[in-house]
Structure 1
């Protein structure tokens, strides 16, 4: 007779094991997820950056980038324009003052100089002819005056003799009267000639002055034209580096066209772009720290361009003369000191934690755990945040990123 065999508790033991595993999982979850205010998470210690809250001077500065540009730039422009005949130097070379750079040609200017030279020659010839005619007229008047004085002297002597003869009855009275009338005529003619001589001298002086002024003006115009002709040879006005030279052989340049520029050597400044938010906080003379490799150079704001473009404005920083380690176009780190520095402030290192917490809370390390704590941060500079509330000197704070555990209240540091 067949006998029914009962299972020896296998099914019961399996159910009990499953229940125990579920209970263990539930207890573990309850341990690591204790509500919204008590959740904890295990975090490897070697994946964290921990910084100590310190107390010391806080320098309120903006970390910026500045571009090195020449402090003084001399532009090369054409005076009269012309065709490029010869390029005597290359861009980037160091040039001396007065060194020829570019040779231009201008046919119209050369013809203008020749025309002006002809005008000056004609005017000078006319001036010389006028002066000769005036001198001839002056000499003629002087000769007439001498002749009149001679006649007066002769008539005066005859008149004296004739008076004695008329008294003796030897000379007729009519002859005496005729001599007297001639003497009066020549005396009047003498006065008239003197007046004419004076008048012509005055007129001659005015005319000569006008002609000389006209000739001087033509000479100046001629010199100006010749100077423009000389300017067809472009020379370096100062010694420096020819940083730009935009000319090609056979190219035509208009009057006033920009040919290039010369940068004064070893004299540089920085141009820095700032957000318009700081427009009212920045002023000339404000101290600046410029990073040159491992060194920092002190400088100051020399100029502020308050025109806002793309929500930014530009300032210039005057660099000390003689810096040899910088080049035109180089970008440097700049710390603009705003002036609200504190000598004794709580400081915490800057880090990626700010991205997750916004500076409103941090994880403070205590032993092998880190607890989330609300804080208040103030200003920031290149290296530190200013702590206003929530931390004390010596506190250990996680300053690396919180992106993988920013929901946890407590961190278990393994």
Structure 2
């Protein structure tokens, strides 16, 4: 009888791979189920995850939004005149840059032989005209004297003729002279009267004529005096004087240089009044207005000022604006000292706002991610006014919402993102 094969059977122990196969299958199935469950949450749109440590978040709050413009600038003297040459010549600079000067001090001299010679010539012409005027006055007195002499002689002749006429009347009544002699005496009286009248008119006319000629001579002298006065002013202007108390800024020409009329020579800086000169980007130029408040920060000091002037032109994509602020003797200000500034455009009260971040540009100002727990959901938003630190939220958010304010480029336009 043949026995069974049980005696040949041998018990084999399972290998390590086979023992681990079942646990690995179970773990893989668990991960897949978890992923499916996670994907099924919130409508099944979670497709990305990001590290929360790399994100910046901010809570929407209500408050006063201060619209401002951050910029830089420098301290400049409110009054820093440039002195120019008035004539062509050789300049001699009498003060060094950095020297303190007082108003009226001579800072430079311009040697102009041509102008000096012209002044002397015109002064000689004036002296000649003045001599001619005095001579004309003497001639006028002489001619007036002659006219008065002729008038006096005519008066005497008329008196003599009148006396002879009265004598003739007495003689004709006594029949001592003929009628012809009597009438001759009357003619002599009439003739003397005419001569006196003409002499009187001649004397008056001579007086008017001499007065007119003297007036013309005086006008010539006056006109020449004005020419000399103007030349004297020009010669005096060859000494370039300080228009204000201050300090010499820079030489704008070389010592003993030959310069032309209207060429800049040097600058004088008035240290009693300073202003801030700001360079504002041209994109904000239309929002600037005179009188706006400006916060200035320099050398550890912060003070307020107001926009005093705005340049009408754009240079290097910037608009230059001047800020006037209260002067304080305690401030240590220097020409061209650098500073930072905030131009306060407006204050908006009771505004829903969030801290400004890279999400404004990366999301185009229309997208944001609202964080709830460990899920960030994409939502459409509408932003309004913006300041350097905050931005107004017009739609898409409520007070207390938490938004991702860092760059949204790593979210890949996903509808929902897990925050690890």
Shorter-chain TM-score above 0.5: yes
Task: Specify the alignment match of 1:4 in structure 2.
Answer: none
Instruction: Say which is worse superposed, 25-34 or 250-259, in terms of deviation.
Output: 25-34
> Under a length normalisation based on structure 1, what TM-score does the superposition of the two structures give?
0.81
| Secondary structure at 1:60 match in 2 | strand
Q: How does 1:3-14 map to 2 (within 5 A)?
A: 13=18
Task: Specify the alignment match of 2:81 in structure 1.
Answer: 74
2:170 to 158, 161, 164: 164
Gaps of 5+ in 1: 1-6
Task: Specify the alignment match of 1:83 in structure 2.
Answer: 90
| Secondary structure at 1:284 match in 2 | coil
Deviation at 1:349, TM superposition (A): 2.1
Deviation at 1:201, TM superposition (A): 1.2
Gaps of 5+ in 2: 1-11
2:325 to 319, 327, 338: 319
Give per-residue Cα distances to partners, 1:220-261, cap 9 Å, x unaligned: 110110111111100012223433431322212222222233
Give the Cα–Cα distance (whole angstroms) in 1 for the partners of residues 106 and 294 of structure 2.
40
**Do structure 1's residue 181 and structure 2's residue 187 form an aligned pair?**
yes
Q: How does 1:167-316 map to 2 (within 5 A)?
A: 167-171=173-177, 175-264=181-270, 265-276=272-283, 278-279=285-286, 281-292=287-298, 296-308=302-314, 313-316=319-322
**Do structure 1's residue 97 and structure 2's residue 103 form an aligned pair?**
yes
Q: Are residues 76 and 347 of structure 1, via their aligned partners in 2, closer, same or farther at CA, if it must alter by over 3 Å?
A: same
CA contact (8 A) 2:79 2:273 kept: no
Give the Cα–Cα distance (whole angstroms) in 2 for the partners of residues 293 and 55 of structure 1.
34
Deviation at 1:396, TM superposition (A): 4.5
Q: Are residues 206 and 388 of structure 1, via their aligned partners in 2, closer, same or farther at CA, if it must alter by over 3 Å?
A: same
| Secondary structure at 1:149 match in 2 | helix
Give the Cα–Cα distance (whole angstroms) in 2 for the partners of residues 247 and 25 of structure 1.
87
Give per-residue Cα distances to partners, 1:159-207, cap 9 Å, x unaligned: 3334434544545555544444333322211111111111111111111
State how many pairs are aligned. 401
> Under a length normalisation based on structure 2, what TM-score does the superposition of the two structures give?
0.80
Give the Cα–Cα distance (whole angstroms) in 1 for the partners of residues 336 and 372 of structure 2.
46
Instruction: Say which is worse superposed, 290-299 or 225-234, in terms of deviation.
Output: 290-299
| Secondary structure at 2:254 match in 1 | coil
Give the Cα–Cα distance (whole angstroms) in 2 for the partners of residues 327 and 106 of structure 1.
37
RMSD of the alignment, in Å?
3.8
Give per-residue Cα distances to partners, 1:335-358, cap 9 Å, x unaligned: 33333x332223322234445444
